[in-house]
Amino acid sequence: MTFPPAEPPKAGRRPASAHAFSTNVPRLTFLVPGFAQWSQGRRTRGLILAGLYLISAASALLLWGNPTTWLFLVGLVFIQALSWVEGVRQNPFSGLTPTPVLAVMGGGLSLALHAPIFGLLTLLAWPSYGPDPGGGSYLVNRLAYKDHLPSPGQWVWLDGSTTGLQSAAKVVAVGGQEVEWTGRRWLVNGEEVVLDPGHASAGYPKRWKFRVPSGHVLIDPGSGGARSDETRAALIMVPREHIVGQVWAHCSPFWERGLL
């Protein structure tokens, strides 16, 4: 009995090779909380991890400026690392790597991914506390005035070297503007400005007019929640270098949160 000769393989074609573990090779997508579990058929587990991660992220942003925030930030890293370890463990060859090593790898990758976000938050929304513990905290954009002065009406955070206290204050006038005290009210370039009524203007002459020097800012220190038992000048001249950044939100107490 004879058989026809085997057909030689066509040029340009290679036998298909099997990739036994190609679907289980660790990928960067495993760092998406719940993705590895979802793609491996454990959809309930994947939804739980994704939901816990989103809840932790939302809580951290909502409570930013409160010490409780750090608990949720640690939770973000833990959940992402856990999702990574579970995804990698589906590869049979991962059994050769101890679980603590995989956990350290997952935690390191998670920290590397979250570090830029944490760094950006500390620059754009740094939590700062005033002299009065009951006055709450503020969020400060420390990059706001790197190349220009603040504008009148904006809130700024002082480093304490001029006023003696680290606190928020409202800008009344900037370099080049003319300020006048009429004996009853303050004028900036001829327009009246309203200051904190709790700070007396005693000690000022009956009439006074001056121009704010270049590179300086005139601020109302009483607008930032100074202690009620302190008597401070109505206005203070502050050099630009003593302004840390722009205060853009009051973040605690929680019920008093709001933009400034």
Per-residue pLDDT of the chain (260 residues; tens, 9 = 90+): 555 555 555 555 554 444 444 444 567 788 899 999 998 899 999 999 999 999 999 999 888 888 889 999 999 999 999 999 988 887 766 656 788 888 898 999 999 999 999 999 999 999 888 766 566 789 999 999 988 889 999 999 998 776 666 788 899 999 999 999 888 888 999 998 887 665 555 566 778 899 999 989 999 876 665 554 455 567 888 998 899 999 998 887 777 888 88
How many residues in total does the chain contain? 260
Q: How many helices (H) and strands (E) does the chain have?
A: 4, 12
Per-residue model confidence (pLDDT) at position 148: 86
Per-residue model confidence (pLDDT) at position 6: 53
Amino acid in the structure at residue 144? A
Same domain? For 136 and 219 the reply is: yes
Q: How far is the CA of 57 from the CAs of 78, 96, 130, 184, in angstroms?
A: 12, 33, 27, 51
Question: Are the CB atoms for 146 and 155 separated by under 8 Å?
Answer: no
Max CA pair span of the chain: 126
Residue 4: inside a domain? no
| CA dihedral for 18, 23, 25, 29, sign (positive or negative) | positive
Per-residue model confidence (pLDDT) at position 27: 73
Residue 20: inside a domain? no
DSSP state for residue 227 in the 8-state scheme: -
Domain C-terminal end among 75, 91, 124: 124
Residue 13: inside a domain? no
Backbone angles phi, psi at 60, to 5 degrees: -65, -40
* Token duo for residue 54: 């989103």
| Domain encompassing residue 159 | 127-259
* Token duo for residue 59: 């809580």
Same domain? For 118 and 147 the reply is: no
Same domain? For 95 and 118 the reply is: yes
Residues 6+ apart with CB under 8 A from 25: 91
Q: How far is the CA of 103 from the CAs of 42, 46, 57, 245, in angstroms?
A: 20, 18, 21, 39
DSSP state for residue 177 in the 8-state scheme: -
Asked whether the bond before 253 is cis by omega within 30 degrees of 0, the reply is yes
How many domains is the chain partitioned into structurally?
A: 2
Residue 238's SS3 state is strand
